A and B are shown apart, each in its own frame.
Chain A
């Protein structure tokens, strides 16, 4: 019980910090960085729900992000719908994509799911370039309506979305669903021997993961007021996986912290000038090498360990 209390206090403290930050440092540039960090955190948490819990790595989470982002952009620019429609529609389209990839590949063991996700995201990125008449090609679709006029309002809305997504995913991860998903990571055959329909749970987890990522993708398009093929990029998928690793896989809240930390880090290191990417990479390598369980979650557990 005390463990849980400390966690809640920690979460509230981080939330207050994030809420205060743009009021302390008043610049559009800084609030923009914060907004993107928070959106990354939503994506990382959604990756972790499926892949962190079940251990089935997803190398193409950008597929869901891109699907959500382009759906929002299409609805707003071609059909002239309010940008608010993009959030549920983006989530729905991402879920449809998750079924197309997940249904045939999640029944199988082996790397098929991970590779199919990677391939699907890459194919979608290609398609946005091939059908440039509709997607705007490399330029993407600019001039989208923002959700809010003020950048600050957009940021707070994204922060609220992060809280909502984290609470939802954490609740599921700590319910009997989470127990089953973690058991799948432990041993699929043993899970079947316990009477669990492993395929059903994997596909359902992927659908939930896709819905959150898709809504996050729509949010990103609305914030940027534009969408480009980069939302399908392999580099985005890989960046998310690194964020989850640094955060601490399978904890949901760890990846949220990892994402915010890593998204802010290049900015915090700005004082180092050209060396910052170099330092960033070295920091990453050290974290992955010396703390394979991640940084954020193990550090927090160490800080809040019961004093004896």
Chain B
């Protein structure tokens, strides 16, 4: 059986800086995996390479066995690989429902019945149904994070990439969002790849962690092993024997 996502030797340079260096990993369908790494480790760049927002310099990304090289972002989304952004990117001047509708208009799902009804259902799923008519410009930050996920979900992805979904959330908002992601994974059978740089909640959410530093994969394994991995410890707190308080 081929992996849902197969990343082989992907490299991206910005001038002299190697932002992503020879990264390889594979995701099986139904997995929930995390990418861990300090700021600047190349996590978001890797997401941009996987989703076609940036072109790879070297290496191959395969989704369901199909090479994604040179496909524009919207084509990749229509193959079933959707993403959210680290900084929320709502469509300003439009309502919450309209924002979700845009995802429902992707060619992949466009002909699956009433756009409004589907958008409404997605909003119920992420817990924004009662704010459908609200203008996104006045939406609180926590709701914008959910709307990011709603827009991606609307394209009915097989693989969902979440770029720091917990960033900027208060401690009382992290639990519910984590529960939402868990629910999407359990009930919808969605394969999920999440970027975070540190978070207890995150380590409890994922089954497997890909740790990155300076653009390279330094370790892959279950969360409880990753937090004790010497190179992960080094990346986070430098060369020290101090215990890592992540898990």
Given B72, B83, B91, which contacts A187 in the complex, CB threshold below 8 Å?
Answer: B91
Question: Which residues of chain B (69-127) have a CB below 8 Å from chain A?
Answer: 72-74, 77-78, 82-85, 89-94, 98-99, 101-103, 105-109, 115
- Contact between chains at B82 and A195 (CB < 8 Å): yes
- Contact between chains at A193 and B91 (CB < 8 Å): no
Complex interface bits, A179-209 against B, C-beta within 8 A gives 1, otherwise 0: 1101101110111111111100000000000
Complex interface bits, A160-187 against B, C-beta within 8 A gives 1, otherwise 0: 0000000000000000100110110111
Please give 20 more A-B residue pairs, beta carbons under 8 A apart, in addition to A186-B94, A190-B151.
Answer: A176-B101, A176-B105, A185-B91, A186-B90, A187-B91, A189-B53, A189-B85, A189-B89, A191-B102, A192-B53, A192-B73, A193-B51, A193-B83, A194-B155, A195-B82, A195-B107, A196-B74, A197-B74, A197-B107, A198-B74
CB neighbours of B98 from chain A (8 A) = 179, 182-183
Known: A192-B77, A196-B74, A198-B74. A182 touches B94 (CB 8 A): yes
- Give Cα A197 to B71, complex, Å: 12
- Give Cα A185 to B115, complex, Å: 20
CB distance from A4 to the nearest CB of B (A): 16
- Contact between chains at B105 and A193 (CB < 8 Å): no
Given A182, A186, A190, which contacts B85 in the complex, CB threshold below 8 Å?
Answer: A190
Q: Which of A182, A195, A197 has the most CB of B within 10 A?
A: A195
- Give Cα A198 to B108, complex, Å: 15
CB neighbours of B102 from chain A (8 A) = 179-180, 183, 191, 194, 196
Closest to A192 in B: B73
Interface residues on B, range: 20 to 34
- Contact between chains at B82 and A187 (CB < 8 Å): no
- Give Cα A77 to B154, complex, Å: 55
Give the 4 A-B residue pairs with the shortest CB-CB distance, closest first: A195-B106, A186-B91, A195-B77, A190-B89
Q: Which of B72, B74, B77, B115 has the most CB of A within 10 A?
A: B74
Say yes or no: is B152 at the interface (Cβ < 8 Å to chain A). yes
Question: Which A residues fall within an 8 A CB radius of B?
Answer: 176, 179-180, 182-183, 185-187, 189-198, 250
- Contact between chains at B77 and A193 (CB < 8 Å): yes
CB neighbours of B99 from chain A (8 A) = 183
- Give Cα A250 to B91, complex, Å: 14
Closest to A182 in B: B94
- Give Cα A60 to B91, complex, Å: 27
CB neighbours of B103 from chain A (8 A) = 194-195
Known: A189-B53, A190-B85. A196 touches B93 (CB 8 A): no
- Contact between chains at A193 and B94 (CB < 8 Å): no
CB neighbours of B91 from chain A (8 A) = 182-183, 185-187, 190-191
Complex interface bits, B30-51 against A, C-beta within 8 A gives 1, otherwise 0: 0000000000000000000001
- Give Cα A195 to B112, complex, Å: 15
CB neighbours of A187 from chain B (8 A) = 89-92
CB neighbours of B83 from chain A (8 A) = 193
Given A185, A186, A194, which contacts B154 in the complex, CB threshold below 8 Å?
Answer: A194
- Contact between chains at A194 and B77 (CB < 8 Å): yes
Closest to A190 in B: B89
- Contact between chains at A193 and B151 (CB < 8 Å): yes
CB neighbours of B74 from chain A (8 A) = 192, 195-198
- Give Cα A196 to B72, complex, Å: 10
Closest to B51 in A: A193
- Contact between chains at A195 and B93 (CB < 8 Å): no
Closest to A196 in B: B74
- Give Cα A177 to B25, complex, Å: 39
CB neighbours of B93 from chain A (8 A) = 182, 185-186, 250
CB neighbours of B115 from chain A (8 A) = 176
CB distance from A217 to the nearest CB of B (A): 31
Closest to A188 in B: B89
- Contact between chains at A180 and B105 (CB < 8 Å): yes
CB distance from B157 to the nearest CB of A (A): 9
Closest to A197 in B: B74
29 contacts between A and B (CB under 8 A): A179-B105, A182-B98, A183-B99, A185-B91, A185-B93, A186-B91, A186-B94, A187-B91, A189-B53, A189-B85, A189-B89, A191-B102, A192-B72, A193-B73, A193-B77, A193-B84, A193-B151, A193-B152, A194-B77, A194-B151, A194-B155, A195-B74, A195-B78, A195-B105, A195-B108, A195-B109, A196-B74, A196-B102, A197-B74
CB distance from B212 to the nearest CB of A (A): 22
- Give Cα A52 to B99, complex, Å: 18
- Give Cα A176 to B116, complex, Å: 10
- Give Cα A187 to B51, complex, Å: 17
- Give Cα A182 to B101, complex, Å: 12
CB neighbours of B92 from chain A (8 A) = 186-187
